[in-house]
Amino acid sequence: MNEVTSLLQENKRIKSAKYVSNFETVFACPICKSSMKVIDFKSIICSNHHTFDFAKHGYMNFTTHSVNTKYSKGLFEARRKLITEGAFYKPLSYAIGKLINEHLVKTKEIISILDMGCGEGSHLSNICDIVRSTFFKSVVGVGVDISKEGIMAASKYYSNKIWAVADLANTPFKNKQFDVILNILSPSNYTEFDRLLKSDGIVIKIVPQSGYLKELREHLFLKPEKQNYSNSETVERFKESFQFVESSRLSYTMNLNKSSIEWLVQMTPLTWSTTEERINSFFNKNSAQITVDLDILIGKNSI
């Protein structure tokens, strides 16, 4: 690494630590739960001296042991390209932005959005941009994921956000800090969501509906039970965990070009349980119609 690159990275780490220091009161140590402070624009430290350093791209790692996940750098890169260049989830970002506007009290000066299982961060970045340009002037976006690869990519591409490697079941935040908790196609921990949500906040969970990526599933799997998907158990669990507000279904079909098809195949965990041959024959297509079919669930704190 040459001197210029090293200085730029140092700069990025300091910039990010400065940004995080504006919101340090939100943090609680994931080990002992005490308050935390940003020190020397280098680390965030609790009152019992548990110390977590800022990485060169500006994220913090709150895990106490390394976690191996099947989500790779390549998968997150493909996800970012399909979301940003392929605009594959654009209608979803706008639907979520609109719901945030409808459900939050308009008089708030600043709103905080926490994305639990944010992956490489493009959804959070897009949603913050939409909310900021249309509805609320000031938005702070916080992304948490257990995958270091995901958070590393997020902090590399999106600045002025708070990015943390952490388990969504044990996050480094105090109680009742967030106006919105997003949970997009990721696992949940409703006890933790409930703990973190402000009393007038909302949880927005996105789950696949039966038609989600059906053309890809039909191609990858021969068994009908793998081709079909039911979200009923997930939806039931959500309804039991929150004072239920509403659910809506978002369905659309997009015509993907060759690049987008390649990103789609690389970004989905669906390929983890099929053969190389089936993956390759889809990968080599020049175009394809692909369905996005999702349930958007909105919950408020249980009383």
Ligand X SMILES: C[S@@+](CC[C@H](N)C(=O)[O-])C[C@H]1O[C@@H](n2cnc3c(N)ncnc32)[C@H](O)[C@@H]1O
Interface with Zn ion (CB under 5 A), residue from 46, 124, 216, 265: 46
Residue nearest to Zn ion (CB): 29
- H or E segment at 61? strand 60-61
Task: Closer to ligand X by CB, 21 or 211: give it.
Answer: 211
The response to whether 118 counts as a known ligand-binding position is: no
Residues numbered 76-105 forming contacts with ligand X, rule: CB under 6 A: 79
Cβ–Cβ < 8 Å for 261, 288: yes
Question: What's the full length of the chain, in residues?
Answer: 303
3-class DSSP assignment, residue 25: helix
Q: How far apart are CA 235 and CA 230, in angstroms?
A: 10
- 29 is a contact residue toward Zn ion (CB under 5 A): yes
Q: How far apart are CA 165 and CA 159, in angstroms?
A: 16
Task: Name the pairing type of β-strands 287-300 and 243-257.
Answer: antiparallel
- Pick the stretch among 18-26, 49-57, 222-230, 288-296 that binds Zn ion (CB under 5 A): 49-57
Residue 27 CB, nearest approach to Zn ion (Å):
10
Task: Closer to ligand X by CB, 150 or 201: give it.
Answer: 150
Which of Zn ion, ligand X, none has residue 71 at its interface (CB below 5 to 8 Å by kind)? Answer: ligand X
122-134 and 90-103 helices, crossing angle to 10°: 50
Instruction: Give the number of other CB atoms < 10 A from CB of residue 61.
Output: 17
- Pick the stretch among 8-16, 51-59, 182-190, 248-256 that binds ligand X (CB under 6 A): 182-190
Q: How far apart are CA 209 and CA 253, in angstroms?
A: 13
Residues found near ligand X in the complex (CB under 6 A): 69, 71, 79, 117-119, 123, 144-147, 150, 167-169, 184-187
The binding site for Zn ion (CB under 5 A) comprises: 29, 31-32, 46, 48, 50
- The binding site for S-adenosyl-L-methionine comprises 89, 120-121, 212
